Amino acid sequence: MSRKGILTIISGFSGVGKGTLVNNLMNMYDNYALSISATTRNKREGEVDKVNYFFMTKEEFESKIENNEFLEYANYVGNYYGTPKAYVEEMLNEGKDVLLEIEIQGAMKVKEIMKDALLIFVMPPSAKVLKDRLVGRGTETKEVIDKRLLRAIEESEGIENYDYILVNDNLDESTKRLHDIINVQHDASSRNYKFINVIREDIKNFSEGD
Amino acid sequence: MSRKGILTIISGFSGVGKGTLVNNLMNMYDNYALSISATTRNKREGEVDKVNYFFMTKEEFESKIENNEFLEYANYVGNYYGTPKAYVEEMLNEGKDVLLEIEIQGAMKVKEIMKDALLIFVMPPSAKVLKDRLVGRGTETKEVIDKRLLRAIEESEGIENYDYILVNDNLDESTKRLHDIINVQHDASSRNYKFINVIREDIKNFSEGD
């Protein structure tokens, strides 16, 4: 069973610890690759092209939009951000399980193109834990906190579109669980039609007097 | 997250080692329960009622058929065999993951009633391995072997109806893999609507000034 990688989209509430989980997953296990975003914003000190981002000009970015080279893209405060399809597919073909941390609207766009993407939504153990994280250390204004809570309500609307939820209560345990969820998908029969057919044809050949 | 058990249906080619896998799973991990079949055949020496089978008369069995008390049933050489719904549901409600080893026609019937059942098909690592097992130690007649091969061809037709395939190459590794496949399903968002809704409602309540 030579196996293609699985594209896993990871979303979740702001402040729930998605980034830490993804980094921990990369450290604890081999076989994962992070999707690298493209952007037209300026490179900041310490950032490396093709590591942190694929940095490109507005013209380059827009020409790639026209050529359908993005799984999704968006424009935030005058800069483009997007997920280049080619890099993701290259990693998948190498057998890497590719991780894409992205918010829900982007996730739905990617799923339309990559129909066998696996969607995981990271949850807090309770709303109270989420609230404590959003409220922070009491130094935020009511306005900021209300905005964060509204954002969380919005984020919560689409959870049922995800295949799995992952409760982030203990970093290492949740990371292992994230790994298990992704890893067992390699055994989904929908990802093994080729292997199933080979076995089936081989048995038929035996039966015909091999 | 109080959790209900998952009904896992395990099918696979004859001789592929399903029974050994299931027994090993029961020994290696807690939280599993085996579905117990009902039958009208006579109790054999050493068999215990409600452990090996629910033994019952033809009349009792047929009255249960009429009352839709079976997830599936069939008649082999004059005796009924079936899967009583009540026992499976009792175990599931206790939070046990229930294992049901059954062939494909029965599996499809159970899936119709228990729509969130998990279906796993056990595969040999290669058709050659399966053939060697079916052919045995060279003591079988060509007729017996041909019959087994034909059976295997029939069994192979419905594999795509299963959610996962499990390659049985190494007993302990495959058992662990079987456990992982079942275990992560507890995180499927479709099995966590209640938890998702609680979190969602709690966040909304916070936002309304809690």
B133-164 pLDDT, tens digit each: 888 767 788 888 888 888 889 989 999 999 99
Torsion angle, alpha carbons of B110, B155, B18, B159, to 10: -70
- What is the ipTM for the molecules in this complex? 0.91
Instruction: Kindly state whether B145 is in contact with chain A, defined as any CB-CB distance less than 8 angstroms.
Output: no
Instruction: Kindly state whether A58 is in contact with chain B, defined as any CB-CB distance less than 8 angstroms.
Output: no
Provide the percentage of residues in chain B whose pLDDT is more than 70: 97
Q: Are strands A7-12 and A118-123 parallel, antiparallel or unpaired?
A: parallel
Shortest CA gap A136–chain B (Å)? 14
The pLDDT value recorded for residue B161 is 96
Record: fold of B7-197 = Rossmann fold (3.40.50)
Asked whether the beta carbons of B185 and B6 are under 8 A apart, the reply is yes
| Statement: residue B2 has pLDDT above 60 | no
Point out which residues pair with B81 in neighbouring strands.
Answer: B39, B74
The pLDDT value recorded for residue B87 is 97
Asked whether the beta carbons of A130 and B210 are under 8 A apart, the reply is no
- Give the model's confidence band at B209: pLDDT under 50 very low, under 70 low, under 90 confident, else very high: low
B8 three-class SS:
strand
Q: Which chain A residue has its CA at the smallest distance from B127's CA?
A: A199
Read off the tokens for A201.
Answer: 């044809």
pTM: predicted TM-score of the whole model, two decimal places: 0.92
Instruction: Kindly state whether B116 is in contact with chain A, defined as any CB-CB distance less than 8 angstroms.
Output: no
Q: Across residues A82-90, what is the average pLDDT?
A: 97
| Statement: residue A1 has pLDDT above 70 | no
Instruction: Kindly state whether A1 is in contact with chain B, defined as any CB-CB distance less than 8 angstroms.
Output: yes
Read off the tokens for B90.
Answer: 């009792």
Instruction: Kindly state whether B208 is in contact with chain A, defined as any CB-CB distance less than 8 angstroms.
Output: no
Q: Contact A187/B165, CB-based, under 8 Å?
A: yes
- The model's pLDDT over B101-124, given as tens digits with 9 standing for 90+, comes to 999 999 999 999 999 999 999 999
Superfamily of domain A7-200: P-loop containing nucleotide triphosphate hydrolases (3.40.50.300)
Query: Cβ contacts (< 8 Å) between A190 and chain B: which residues?
Result: 160
Query: Cβ contacts (< 8 Å) between B164 and chain A: which residues?
Result: 184, 187-189
Q: Which chain B residue has its CA at the smallest distance from A160's CA?
A: B189
Q: Which chain B residue has its CA at the smallest distance from A182's CA?
A: B184
- Give the model's confidence band at A127: pLDDT under 50 very low, under 70 low, under 90 confident, else very high: confident
Q: Which chain A residue has its CA at the smallest distance from B143's CA?
A: A207
| CB nearest to A207's CB, from B150, B205, B206 | B150
Mean pLDDT, chain B, integer = 93
HSE, CB side, 13 Å, CA atoms: give it for residue B26. 14
Cα angle B78, B84, B87 (rounded to 5 degrees) comes to 150
The pLDDT value recorded for residue B1 is 46
CA distance A171 to A5: 24
